[in-house]
Each structure stands twice: as structure tokens, then as C-alpha cells.
Structure 1
């Protein structure tokens, strides 16, 4: 999360910087320490620790500087300039190996850090490392060719100062309207801000303006894959392969697009075709494993994940992917390896997070619940530092939906949308059983399962607007949008999701976060079916807490935030049921476990579908499943998992307090399963 400096704080930081430039190091240190004694936001504290360490190094106090950097890196282990300072300190004491490690880590965190690249080049030259020298020189040349404002914007972007980076980039584009590198950089900033539509428009424009600009087209392809627009991604990957038929990166992108479109066998074959051509195949083995797991090839997926960590020893995601199969059991040696890597300060933070979650699962399988919880908590703490989740914003979003999406709104505008009955939305909280509901319904001959589609979230983001100084336009603007737009939005949803479907008349969108936008869904698609996947709050929230999600779900990395989010979810669902009576079916996970056939018939009746026995034998249905529950829903219903949270109950008091006794009492009857 980017923090906007107040005017006085910003001025004080500039004064310290000026003192350092004037070689008034003791005075700079004094001012920095005075500010550090105050309660300031983490981003400001990091800047102060950095300036203090620089002052100490210049003053000739390397030990003090090292201690200051240690404190800074505890706050932010990926602070690029802190790592660069560690490099300078190591160089000064003659430890070139440690210096090279520090500078290299700095460039991994901020590839625009020109000083670190130049320091690395000098160290590689001294060591006679020709290949590394060439790589460093390539980076230096690329950075030096950038116009200074774009180099500055890149630096700010990698430092997480996205608003400042965007402003600098836009100012440059005002003077250089169709500068491709500037447009690509602005698109990357947009991706980091999760403004995907703007980023896509910029990159699409780059491709139109400069069709042969391979880098821009590759960036466009990467974004299309990230946003799940696999049909478009396939077109771009094939275009690139026509120009560069031996390019392994393009083949990997095409494989990802094919897997996204459900062409898993083709994608798997393409992944396998490039493995022997890569010097570092770990990432491809990981993607191969995901594709194999999605179609139920469990043993092959495990082998791929193991090969991934064999090729890169600190590859935390490979270990987590093994844990995330939910059925794999780690060997003693694997647990030892994970513990060693998790405790190594050289291990990148993202990998450490993956190791912590994987270790949590390993010790849970051993029934060592105390150690398991400690590892889950460590992973969540690091992940929470990265995410910067703000619970108040979720509460404000829910308040806005309740305020503006009234019964009167649906009376006046509820029949303006597209009349297609195709979509069935399964929503709620992650880990509430939505994958099981999808698998059951997708076992029906008239229903296609798809995936967690981002289309509704993307539309809501577009409607919200971008002016950070004002309240979001959405959902208040649902009262003001022209009548014809509701049908247009609904038709666009149907058209844009067609590539994920087969030929069945109905299809499922199981994006859980869509519960925030049920009002929007019913306005653009009034005949869509809504199913609320509900689970006991303690079971659901703790299952989310121990799950490392690929992207999003930032509320899940704190027990307190998770409890607050669940309460907001229940509050909003109560509102939707008041203003849209009879239009949402709540399916309680525990009731489904107790009376599977009864609940399946209830769902099919709600969707106006005849009963089919295949829905009872859902675990026999062969289809691609890309969620953490993929292996679980290929087995008959298992009641044992319903109360797993009980093993961790001694550590879950913050969650209980966040949920509150009144809410918990409503679900007490489900605790006897």
C-alpha cells in the first residue's frame, strides 16, 4: 500500500536528504532519530531508517549502519535501497561475495536501480565472470537508453511509489504522445494498481501503433494471460511465434493460454516440448504441474512440482504447490529443506511465505497443531505486510451497496438488463465449498463449469472510477447510468465469457467476491441464478487463513481481518435477500454434507434443471478444476473436514472475538457434525 506523505513529513525528509548532501551527517542522524521516536506510518519509518543508515555509513560507522539496515529489512525485507546499502558496507569491508549477493538482491527487488547494476558489473569484472558481466551490461545499457523521466518513473514504480511513478510517466507522455516505452511503463504501473482495463487499452494501442514492437506485444500477451483473456492471449502468442518460431517464452505463453481455454492436453504437450531447451526450467515445471493437477493427473503433477524444486532449491511455490494438492505428504528431508530455506535470510520474501504455508500444512498432517499454527501465522504475517489490506474500506464498500442498492432501485431498473438465463453465479467466501457446488452442477448435462471469472469485478472497477480524491462513483451511479447500458453490459458479459464455455445452455461463474456486486449482476442479467455458498464461520475463516491464495483475498492474512470480512459478508447478504427476495439460494456446506441428495435436488430446482443422477456422482466427472479443492471434489463427500478448525481452537480467540458471539450462535447447530 502506497502512503501519501503529509506536507510537514515530506519537508522533514527532504531536509534530512539535504543535510546528507551537505555532508552534515551527525545533524541528519539527529533529525532522523527525532522523527523515528514518533508514531509514523511504516512507509515513513522505512524512509527514515534508510536515510539514517546512509548517514551512518558516510560518517564511518558501518556497524551502526548495519544495525539500522537490519531494523529496516525487518519492516520491509525487499527494500531495494537497503539491500544496496548492505552491498556498499560489504564492499567497504572487502567482502566482495556478500557485496555481490546484496547488490543482486537489490536489482531483483528494483531492476531500475542503476547504481546496483554498475556495482555488480565492477564486481563481476574483478571476478572474471564473463556471462554475468554481459547480463549486467545489458541491463545498464537498457536503463541508460531510457529518457531520465522514465528511468525515474521506473525506479519509483519498483519502490512501490506508484502514484508518483504514474504522475511522472503521464507528464512525460504529455510531451511525447505516442512514446511506446512510456506507454508500456504506464501500463505496467496500471497493472500494479490493478487498473487492468486501462493497462490493456494502453498496450493494445502500443500494438496498433507499433505492430512489430515485440516487447510491447509480449507485455500485452502477459497481461491478457493475467486477466484470463485466454482467447486473445492465444492470438497474440501465435502471432509472436510466427515471427520467432523458436522462442521458448512465446511457446510457454501459448501453453498457458491453451490451458486457460481448457485445452489442457495441448498445453501440457507444449510445456513438455520446451523443458529440455531451458537452462532454468523450474517455473515451467511448476506451470506443467498446475495443468496436470487441473485435469486430475495427480502423480504427474507431484513429479513436476518435485522437479521444479530440484531445479531451484529455494523455490517456495513448488513446495507450496505440493502442499496445496491437499493430499501430498512431505518427507522428513523435504521438511528439513523447507525449514532451512525459510530460515535463510537470502531466501526471497515470496519464497519464504510459500515455505511457511507449506510447513504449516506439513506439521498439520503430523498432527503437530501448535507448530502448524505458528508456521501459518508466520506466513500470514509476511503476506499481510505485502498486501496492506484495509478492513475499513471493505466495510465502506458494503455500506455503499446497502445505501444505494435499494428495493426501489430494482423496482425501477431491475428489468433493463439482458434477458439471457445462461449464468449461474456461485459466490460467497473462498473455502466455503463453492468448488464442490460447481462440480455438482457441472456434472449436469445442461451446465458448463468454467472458472473464477473476473468479468463482474472488472465491470465494477470500471464503474467505480479512478479519482482517488472523491468517493467512488459506483454503486451510486447505478441510479444514473442510461437505461440501454444495463442490457449492453449484460450482453458483453455473455459474449466475453463464451470462450470458457462448451455447448451447454447454462454455465457457472464461481468468483466468490461477486457477492459484493449481486446488485450489479441482477441489474445487467436479471434472469441469472445466484447461489450463496455458506460455511460455518470458524471453519470457513480458518480454512482461508491457512490457504495461500494466488492473488487477491488480502483479507485472509489476519484472523481479525478475516472475522471482520465474514461479518461484512453476512451483513451484505442479509441486505441482498431483503431487496431481492427469493432470488438467492443459500446452500449451507454442513447441510450439504448431511443431506447431499436433498441439497442437490434443491439446487437443481432453483436452477430449473431436472434431476440427473450424475450430480450425485459428481466425483466421477472429468473436467479441468483450477482451485485448491480440485483433488477434494474428485472424491465422495467427506464429513471429517468440517471440524478441522477444532484442532486449532486454542489459537483462534482473535477470530472468535472478531466474529462475535451473536454471529457464532447462529451457526452453533453445525458444530455437532
Structure 2
């Protein structure tokens, strides 16, 4: 008879060395010798998480729990559900692994990261705090605590933990950027010399260059040194420029397909078809989709709407795209691609709508409306309209140069396929032109469903624009919607600092600070 514990030790050591073949073999031998074993299935689940086979990992972890339900297993189920974008299941699993039930700092951090990933930053903080009480010398734990603190609005706490992460690991590039991103930079108080030193250590480190370069750009910009800021951005993004061109080629195919749909005639026969579609979609009027290019004001509109007494905020939800992908069942690993959009044409639209509603129901109370502000849902406008015919779609439109320069200035999620276009300024411009054209076509074609909101008009005249927004959404007027600075909900976007301020016009025309470096983009967009 084999030694079970020895095999578990072999498997655990092998996992730590990324020798997943040996780890898998040890776990299977335990099951063959002793029958179904909860820890063996747990370790098999961990192996499949590491291999990126999340759905398989979920099945193995659930098998483990069926034999012996443990908080530890629920902790890693929370991670799995967060990775596949299921907010509801991630939070449900986390509730079965409360902080006091976990004794290893790594396991606590795992649940915290899962909750942070699905936007529950307040919940995440309790796990990070306990993890640090067990191991205060791990820079990653400090960084994770800082990130959730920032999104929860605790900026001083965030700044302290980013500094601790850097003190423990001076080459912790993400912490450098996160600290600069918090602002508060002055001529007397900045991190430029430290960042310049860090830049010398990450010359051949692509992600390091992105983080340090963007951090330098943030600080130079705060000091009014815009030439140096732009040079820092170019330094940051240079290794990724080809990725922008590749991503743009993929997006061009999506835009071609959507433009063809948007330009199709809408005569009397089509109007009858629209009425038929509306009768067969999911009959729920609660969803409000806020869409648009990133950095165009989507978060501001979400904060305005979510300050209404009858509106809940879901943040940037992946659920509509995930619902389409799961029902289309296309083979690619990407949630959004041309094959999936084409396959969706043959799906039952009511089923898509009901799937989305089921996935997001926990985010609001009965009778409430729900704001979903994932900017890239503009790729699903027609599917949203057909699956949820009573939903309202608000698309932000900002000055083209401000939008494009804003995208180029922003360090988006490095591993998200959505943002790969943003490493090259002209690629951003070409992306914008395609987005602008297709969205104007949708708004003209479906004015009852799609509302174009000018960012500039909103910033300059909120007293006129906010009532029109509420009216489009069939919401009664409430004065508090004008005061986004009083909205205490967490913010999980790049606008986390700005939207805690009153509505203002400071961002209008900001691109002009970089006018010396944007001649090519200006020509592309017709500014000269």
C-alpha cells in the first residue's frame, strides 16, 4: 500500500515547481489506491487552475467538496468563478470560506483577489488584512490590499501599502505605477528619480516598461512637463506597438460585420420584424447599458445614474458577452470574436436575455434598475436590443482627440484582449473612427433603444443633460443625481479618483497638452 501523505507531499512540491505531470500522477495514484479522496481531487483542481483549464478545475473542486466540503476548497472555487467572470458564484463561494476559516496567508490572498476581480473590494479587504496579519513581509499582499483600498476610496491607506510593497521589492513595477496613479504629485513631492532608477532595471522587461513608463508619464504630466510625459509613454509602449496593429486587424473584421448590420435597410418590413423581435426577447426593462470608448465618460454617467434611488450599479460586467459566448458555444478561447457574433445570430434571443438577467439578478433588489457600464458592450448593441428589447443603451461620445489621447495615456489591463489597440496612437485613432461610425448608425436606426450622450455637453451643462438622461431611462427626476461626488459606491475603473469629484470641465481639451506630438493623429481625425 502506498503512503497517502507522502504522495500528497510529492504532489504539493511538484505543483510548486510547476511539474504538473508528476503532481497529477501522484494524485491519481492516491485515488487508485484509496478510492475517491477529497484532497486528491482538490490538488487535481489546483493543477488545472495552474494549467488554465478553469472549467475542468471547477468540476474537480466540486467533486472534492461533494466528498468533504472545506473552506479551503471554496476559496479556490471563488478564484475559478472570478476567472470565468461569474460574479454571483464567486461571491457565493467566498461566503463559504470566511477569513476566520483560513489559516494560510496565500489562501486568504487568493479569495481577496477573487473578490477584487469581481468588484467586491470591501469584501476583499477583510481577506487581505488577515493575510497581512499572518505574513506582513509579502509585497504582493501589500499591493493587493492597496489596490482594493484605492477602489474603495481609501487613498491614504492605498498609498501606504503601495509604499510598503516597493520597500519590500524595489522592482515591484505595478506598485510604482499604482502609487503614481493616485496623484498628489508636486514639485516637492514626487517619485521621478526613483522611477528613473527603476526604468534602468526594466529595459528588457515589457510589462515593467509599461508600468514604469506610465508612472513617469503620470508624474511628468502632473508637473506640467508634457514633452517628457509623452516621451515616457513612447518608451512604455514601444515594445507593444506590433500588438496594436495585430489587434486592430482583428477589430476591423468585427467592425466590418457590425457596420454591415447597422447599415442594413430598416423599411416597413424591417420595422415589423423589429416589433416581432421585441415581442420575443426577454421582457424586462431593468437593464441600463452604458457604453462607449474607454476614457469617454462612461464612469461619470454610471455614477450619475447609480446615485438614483431606483438604480443599482453592477460596474463593468462581463455577463452579456459571457451569456452570448456560452450559448453560442464557439470553440475559441476569446469571449468576443467574429465567429461568436455570427453564431449568435442563430440563437434564441429570449434565452440570451434571460441568461443575462439570471446572472445579474443578485446585483439589484426587486424593482430596481441595473447599470452595466462595460464600455466594450458596444460590440453587442444589436444583440442587446434583440435579447433585451426594453433595455436602455447610453453611448458616450467625447471629442475624438481627447478620447484617443486619453486611451493612449491610460495603462489598461495588460492581459485583457480588449485593450491591445491602445499601444499605438494612430491605431487608437483608426479604432475610434470605426467605433464612431457604427455607433452613430445604431443610434439613428434605433433611437428608442440607443441614446448618444456628449461628454462635453454633460460636463458643461449637467443641469440640462442629467434630466434628459434620466428621462431616456424612464427614471423620475432626483436632485442627488447631479452630485456624483456624494456617491459612496466603490469605483473599479481608471476614473476612480476623478469621479469622486463634482462634475467639472477640467478634462475637456486636455489633448492639447500633447499637440506637439499628435500631428499624425490630428490628420487622421480631420483636425488639420
Partner of 1:506: 369
Gaps of 5+ in 2: 1-11, 26-39
Cα distance in structure 1, aligned partners of 2:242 and 2:186: 29
Partner of 2:510: 644
Cα distance in structure 1, aligned partners of 2:145 and 2:489: 17
Deviation by residue 1:344-397 (Cα, 9 ceiling, x = unmatched):
158743223111100011111111111110111121223445677431221211
Match among 167, 171, 180 for residue 323 of structure 1: 180
Distance 1:583 1:266, change over 3 A: closer
Where do 1:403-442 residues align within 5 Å?
403-404=260-261, 406=264, 407=266, 408=270, 410=274, 412-442=276-306
Cα distance in structure 1, aligned partners of 2:77 and 2:202: 35
Where do 1:182-261 residues align within 5 Å?
199-211=53-65, 220-237=77-94, 245-258=102-115
Cα distance in structure 1, aligned partners of 2:340 and 2:286: 25
Cα distance in structure 2, aligned partners of 1:542 and 1:364: 13
Q: Does structure 1 conserve the Cα–Cα contact (< 8 Å) formed by 2:182 and 2:497?
A: yes
Deviation at residue 543 of structure 1 after TM alignment = 0.7
Partner of 2:259: 402
Distance 1:242 1:319, change over 3 A: closer
Cα distance in structure 1, aligned partners of 2:330 and 2:377: 18
Match among 11, 22, 27 for residue 145 of structure 1: 22
Please tell me whether residue 572 in structure 1 is matched to residue 431 in structure 2: no
Q: Does structure 1 conserve the Cα–Cα contact (< 8 Å) formed by 2:74 and 2:96?
A: no
Partner of 1:466: 331
Match among 490, 501, 521 for residue 384 of structure 2: 521
The answer to which of 238-247 and 343-352 deviates more is 238-247
Q: Does structure 1 conserve the Cα–Cα contact (< 8 Å) formed by 2:300 and 2:499?
A: yes
Cα distance in structure 2, aligned partners of 1:182 and 1:388: 39
Cα distance in structure 2, aligned partners of 1:391 and 1:545: 14
Q: Secondary structure at the match of 2:371?
A: strand
Deviation at residue 311 of structure 1 after TM alignment = 1.8
The answer to which of 528-537 and 566-575 deviates more is 566-575
Deviation by residue 1:100-131 (Cα, 9 ceiling, x = unmatched):
xxxxxxxxxxxxxxxxxxxxxxxxxxxxxxxx
Deviation at residue 270 of structure 1 after TM alignment = 3.0
The answer to which of 202-211 and 542-551 deviates more is 202-211
Deviation by residue 1:557-582 (Cα, 9 ceiling, x = unmatched):
11111001101101211221243233
Deviation at residue 202 of structure 1 after TM alignment = 2.1
Q: Does structure 1 conserve the Cα–Cα contact (< 8 Å) formed by 2:105 and 2:130?
A: no
Where do 1:364-379 residues align within 5 Å?
364-379=221-236
Q: Secondary structure at the match of 1:475?
A: helix
Partner of 2:307: 443
Partner of 1:342: 199
Please tell me whether residue 584 in structure 1 is matched to residue 438 in structure 2: no
Partner of 1:293: 150
Distance 1:246 1:374, change over 3 A: same
Q: TM-score, normalised by structure 2?
A: 0.82
Cα distance in structure 1, aligned partners of 2:138 and 2:244: 29
Deviation at residue 303 of structure 1 after TM alignment = 1.6
Cα distance in structure 2, aligned partners of 1:433 and 1:308: 31
Where do 1:90-129 residues align within 5 Å?
none
Distance 1:394 1:242, change over 3 A: closer
Cα distance in structure 2, aligned partners of 1:280 and 1:256: 18
Partner of 2:8: none
Cα distance in structure 2, aligned partners of 1:284 and 1:443: 32
Deviation at residue 294 of structure 1 after TM alignment = 2.2
Q: Secondary structure at the match of 1:448?
A: strand
Deviation by residue 1:393-435 (Cα, 9 ceiling, x = unmatched):
2121111123346443645534321111111000010000111
Distance 1:420 1:136, change over 3 A: closer
Deviation at residue 249 of structure 1 after TM alignment = 2.1
Distance 1:346 1:473, change over 3 A: closer
The CA RMSD over aligned residues, in Å, is 3.3
Say which structure, 1 or 2, has more relative contact order (CA 8 Å, 6+ apart). Answer: 2
Paired residues, number? 486
Q: Does structure 2 conserve the Cα–Cα contact (< 8 Å) formed by 1:431 and 1:543?
A: yes
Deviation at residue 492 of structure 1 after TM alignment = 1.6
Deviation by residue 1:53-75 (Cα, 9 ceiling, x = unmatched):
xxxxxxxxxxxxxxxxxxxxxxx
Partner of 1:540: 403
Partner of 2:28: none
Q: Secondary structure at the match of 2:393?
A: strand
Deviation at residue 276 of structure 1 after TM alignment = 3.4
Q: Does structure 2 conserve the Cα–Cα contact (< 8 Å) formed by 1:261 and 1:500?
A: no
Q: Secondary structure at the match of 1:269?
A: helix
Q: TM-score, normalised by structure 1?
A: 0.65
Partner of 2:351: 488
